[in-house]
Chain A
């Protein structure tokens, strides 16, 4: 086994293991923190896949921003320590089955498809390339996404502020 494989297994374990915690934990805060670490694991995967810039972005934005946001949300909306926060009921069994079924399906598809793989190229730093791409080929989506972010911010503010002003 070479190092890549070890790292792969390490990261997969991390993601899946901690992802399980996220999924099946009754304590929502624990789940939120686990999500944080899952996202780190994902970043690890990205590095393995040669997407270095993406990995960093993942850590910065996803793990650092979104995940923290979720933790905030968890804390702000309800009592954290109570188990009723998120308790899968019996109908969690069904969802589990559905999930497993879905998984089986996808895996089945995966396994039965012959992926013709290109030879692994050397890994280069991608930051440069991504920057270039974003501003040439993917300019439109880039701009749209920034617009989208703006709209999201405004929308969030509107939602919150409006409520507050009504309250007072």
Chain B
């Protein structure tokens, strides 16, 4: 309810997303982690927009959060398309087994 709180939540969410991102083997799970991270960031923006407005208008943070959502959508689409394509080829989407591009 004050900035610290929201920022804390945001940080925790970010950590959760990070953990998920780093530890999951399934590509979709990794994407979910990314989503969480993005959400945390958005929350951060909105919290700042609320408690400490920028020199511009007060709603800069919110605008940014909108953009984040939009980008998340685009990213999710593309990622899922890739995941499906990979699934079609390899019959799995396990990240640790997808090493064709590995040097």
Chain A: number of interface residues, binned into ranges: 35 or more
User: A60 to nearest B CB, angstroms?
Assistant: 9
What's the Cα separation between A78 and B58 when bound, in Å? 45
Chain A positions near chain B (C-beta within 8 angstroms): 4-5, 8, 12, 15-16, 19-20, 22-23, 28, 31-32, 35, 38-39, 42, 45-46, 48-51, 53-54, 57-58, 61-62, 65-67, 69-70, 72-74, 76-78, 85-89, 91-92, 95-96, 98-100, 102-103, 106-107, 110-111, 115-118, 120-121, 126, 129-130, 133-134, 137-138, 141, 145, 148-149, 151-153, 155-157, 159-160, 163, 167
Chain B positions near chain A (C-beta within 8 angstroms): 1-9, 11-20, 22-29, 31-33, 35-36, 39, 42-43, 46-47, 49-53, 56-59, 61-63, 65-67, 69-78, 80-89, 92-93
Identify 18 new A-B residue pairs, CB closer than 8 A, beyond the known A106-B14, A156-B77. A23-B17, A35-B36, A39-B39, A45-B6, A45-B46, A49-B46, A49-B47, A61-B69, A70-B32, A73-B84, A95-B22, A96-B23, A98-B22, A100-B15, A103-B15, A145-B71, A148-B71, A155-B81
